[in-house]
Amino acid sequence: EKEIKKIQEYEGRIRELSDAVKRNNIHIIGIPEEEKREKGAEGVLEQIIAENFPDLGKEKVIEIQKAQRTPFRYNLNRSSAQHGIVKLAKYKDKEKILKAPRDKHTLTYKGRHIRIVADLSTETWQARKDWQEIFNVMNRKNMQPRILYLASLSFRIEGEIKVSPNKQKLKEFITIKPALQEILRGIL
């Protein structure tokens, strides 16, 4: 029992370190392979910003530290769209770039739909995905849920905003909130 807790604690620390290293990174999904070869990931990001958020590009120059393609298995039977990772010099630039698609809803690159997301560890994406069903139920009940960085759930109840870092803490919290217990019955 003690060893299992210790292992989980170490795994959590490793995940946090991995995500900290990726803090300024964004992940671009859906760019055709040939485009990346021609322009490089930096050029592609600049084109995406110019095409989708002209105001963002005018504010100031977004400094790119490094850009690279992610490893990909090439499939000759279909056209390939690779992923790219761009490391920005400033975290604020990353936040601006990630916020812009929320306002616009769809992003394009030369007419093709693309996505830009935060570059997080697989474990963090899984932890965020684990909140999805609870998030959807709370959203239908107008509790204004949000998944916070890294993978905590924030929601409004009785005029207050509560944050739960994991499902265990949420289970403990709902024991004193019968209305929330009813809403999440069978899910948690």
Does residue 141 fall inside a structural domain?
Answer: yes
Q: Which residue among 96, 119, 142 closes a domain? A: 119
- Does some domain include residue 9? no
Q: Which two tokens stand for residue 181?
A: 């217990």
- Beta-carbon contacts of 139 under 8 Å, excluding residues fewer than 6 positions away, are 145
Q: Cα separation of 83 and 73, whole Å?
A: 11
**What per-residue confidence (pLDDT) applies to 184?**
93
State the pLDDT at residue 138: 95
Distance CA 54, CA 49 (A): 6
Instruction: Identify the domain containing residue 115 by its residue range.
Output: 23-119
Specify the pLDDT at position 81: 62
**Tokens 């697989």 — which residue?**
122
Give the residues across from 113 on adjacent strands: 108
* Predicted local confidence at residue 106, as pLDDT: 79
Contact between residue 97 and residue 7 where contact means Cβ atoms under 8 Å apart: no
pLDDT tens digits, residue range 13-67? 898 898 888 889 998 888 876 665 666 767 888 888 888 877 765 666 778 888 7
Same domain? 73 vs 150:
no
Asked whether residue 80 falls in the same domain as residue 60, the answer is yes
Do residue 108 and residue 39 come from a single domain? yes
CATH number at residue 85: 3.30.70.1820
Q: Distance between CA 172 and CA 53 in Å, rounded?
A: 43
Facing residues of 64 across strands?
A: 88
Q: Which CATH number does the domain housing residue 150 bear?
A: 3.30.250.20
In the predicted model, residues of the chain with pLDDT beneath 70 are: 33-39, 41, 56-60, 71-82, 103-104
107 and 44 part of one domain: yes
